[in-house]
């Protein structure tokens, strides 16, 4: 399933099959890290670095890019496509550095394609680390393979006069890619998560969007009586946004410190009462309102059933509409709702949502042109570059004001309204980015809970045991927020 062309060029297809914005899957050599020494062997390390291009810093060239140095860019080919790179960001870079050759390639299997190159300290310059087979970002940082992006964020914006790049970004954007105080990753796409449904269908049926758990289960009963499966997700390639419903509900029940404690590997964080209540509530949805056949199906198979009117609610991020564009009937109108309040005493309002900067991009510290890679990211963070990205992908970015005035599609409009309604009650977590093994365990534990008769107690105990194992593994670098 590799999308990498034999002869990389900028002629990339715009229609693709998959976007998993922060997705994770098992990749040999990047997951189980038995020792710090082996980590360096798997991901490279040490001082063996390629000769690196260096230009002269100036007001017009704040990052000191060598104007004729080649730049190699690798983009994950998924639901966002690659057209934003080939048609927007690469041309923008080339307009500023016309003497530079930009070598572009795409792949659906980032780790498969790039792990050998990072192991030999010959990586490409700029990498979009995404998809079900991405590289362990925490391990890359630990191995010294990612560039510190402080200079990028301190540089002037490409097209917003008088502002540094960091001043043009939404709150939390830089923090989302920060590891122990230093920024190594640009999380570019601002994604809102919730329960997606067909707004046109709901309108025709007279189904009101539920705000409470009682309203939600009552509606699920109506949907089930109408011959539809109320709730579905794919178990075959379980992704983070499928266990995200549990943790979103937990945060709404107990407050955002529930997620902060999980991030920081605090004792008993996973067995907190809020997590148990959330797991119990969603286990009930899986048992009564889903279909066990989904356990063996891929995301596109379940999503297609939603487009066909067979599934009502599907948990996902705001890339979903673009991902399903070729299979969505003209009568289907994507809309998204926040997860309903589980209890009558939830600490966060029903409008609270999980929303975060995602879709990781980084400059390889051992590439031939790390300065050019950071400059490329500066072009991505221009207002024009962000606006055109959104026009092509129907996904917002972390650049403030870049979507002002854009009316793109029903799903985009619904997602933007969701973010506006949430306001300051938007939250996220970091542990899944930091600890790959823990992320893998949570996918499996969620499948057990939702499809295989698992219990909330077993889910929480299983995850606490996995978190404690990570905490006690001295070979794994720990991160805190």
Closest CA to 389 of 15, 88, 17: 88
**Backbone dihedral angles phi then psi of residue 123, each to the nearest 5 degrees:** -80, 165
Give the CA dihedral 193, 12, 101, 131, nearest 10 degrees: 40
**Tokens 């943790």 sit on residue:** 247
pLDDT at residue 119, as a whole number: 95
Give φ, ψ of 117 to 5 degrees. Answer: -75, -35
Q: Which helix (H) or strand (E) holds 107?
A: strand 102-107
Domains of the chain, first to last: 36-191+356-416 (3.40.190.10), 192-355+430-471 (3.40.190.10)
Picking from 31, 40, 58, 18, the residue whose alpha carbon sits closest to that of residue 322 is 18
Per-residue pLDDT of the chain (481 residues; tens, 9 = 90+): 223 222 333 333 332 333 333 333 322 233 333 333 334 445 666 556 678 999 999 999 999 999 999 999 999 998 788 999 999 999 999 999 999 999 999 999 999 999 999 999 999 999 999 987 899 998 999 999 999 999 999 999 999 999 999 999 988 899 889 998 999 999 999 989 999 999 999 999 999 999 999 999 999 999 999 999 999 999 987 777 789 999 999 999 999 999 999 999 999 999 999 999 999 999 999 999 999 999 999 999 999 999 999 999 999 998 899 889 999 999 999 999 999 999 999 999 999 999 988 899 999 999 999 999 999 999 999 999 999 999 998 889 999 989 888 888 999 999 989 988 998 899 999 999 889 899 999 999 999 999 999 999 999 999 999 999 999 999 998 998 8
The total of other beta-carbon atoms located within 10 Å of residue 296's CB is 11
């Amino acid at each position: 399933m590799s999308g990498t062309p034999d002869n990389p060029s900028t002629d990339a297809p715009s229609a693709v099959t998959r976007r998993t914005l922060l997705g994770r899957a098992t990749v040999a050599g990047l997951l189980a890290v038995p020792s710090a020494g082996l980590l360096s062997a798997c991901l490279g390390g040490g001082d063996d670095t390629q000769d690196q291009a260096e230009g002269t810093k100036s007001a017009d060239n704040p990052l000191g890019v060598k104007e004729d140095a080649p730049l190699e860019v690798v983009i994950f080919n998924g639901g966002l496509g690659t057209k934003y790179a080939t048609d927007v960001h690469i041309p923008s870079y080339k307009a500023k550095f016309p003497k530079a050759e930009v070598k572009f390639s795409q792949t659906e299997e980032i780790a498969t394609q790039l792990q050998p190159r990072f192991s030999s300290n010959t990586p490409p310059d700029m990498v979009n680390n995404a998809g079900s087979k991405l590289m362990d970002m925490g391990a890359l940082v630990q191995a010294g393979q990612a560039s510190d992006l402080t200079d990028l964020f301190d540089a002037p914006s490409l097209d917003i006069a008088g502002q540094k790049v960091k001043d043009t970004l939404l709150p939390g954007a830089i923090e989302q890619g920060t590891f122990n105080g230093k920024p190594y990753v640009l999380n570019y796409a601002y994604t809102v998560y919730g329960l997606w449904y067909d707004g046109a269908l709901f309108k025709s049926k007279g189904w009101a969007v539920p705000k409470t758990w009682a309203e939600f289960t009552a509606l699920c009963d109506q949907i089930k009586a109408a011959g539809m499966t109320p709730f579905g997700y794919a178990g075959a390639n379980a992704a983070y946004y499928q266990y995200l419903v549990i943790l979103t509900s937990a945060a709404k029940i107990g407050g955002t410190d529930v997620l902060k404690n999980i991030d920081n590997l605090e004792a008993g964080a996973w067995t907190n009462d809020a997590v148990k209540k959330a797991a119990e509530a969603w286990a009930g949805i899986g048992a009564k309102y889903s279909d066990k056949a989904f356990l063996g199906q891929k995301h596109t198979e379940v999503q297609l059933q939603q487009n066909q009117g067979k599934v009502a609610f599907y948990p996902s991020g705001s890339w979903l509409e673009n991902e399903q564009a070729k299979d969505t009937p003209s009568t289907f109108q994507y809309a998204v709702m926040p997860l309903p309040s589980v209890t009558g005493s939830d600490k966060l309002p029903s409008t609270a949502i999980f929303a975060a900067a995602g879709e990781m991009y980084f400059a390889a510290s051992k590439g031939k042109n790390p300065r050019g890679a950071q400059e490329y990211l500066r072009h991505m963070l221009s207002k024009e570059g962000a606006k055109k990205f959104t026009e092509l992908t129907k996904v917002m970015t972390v650049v403030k004001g870049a979507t002002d005035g854009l009316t793109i599609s029903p799903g985009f409009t619904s997602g933007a309204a969701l973010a506006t309604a949430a306001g300051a009650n938007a939250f996220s977590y970091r542990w899944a980015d930091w600890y790959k093994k823990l992320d893998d365990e949570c996918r499996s534990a969620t499948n057990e809970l939702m499809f295989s008769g698992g219990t909330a107690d077993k889910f929480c105990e299983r995850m606490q045991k996995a978190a404690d194992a990570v905490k006690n593994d001295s070979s794994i670098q720990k991160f805190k927020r």
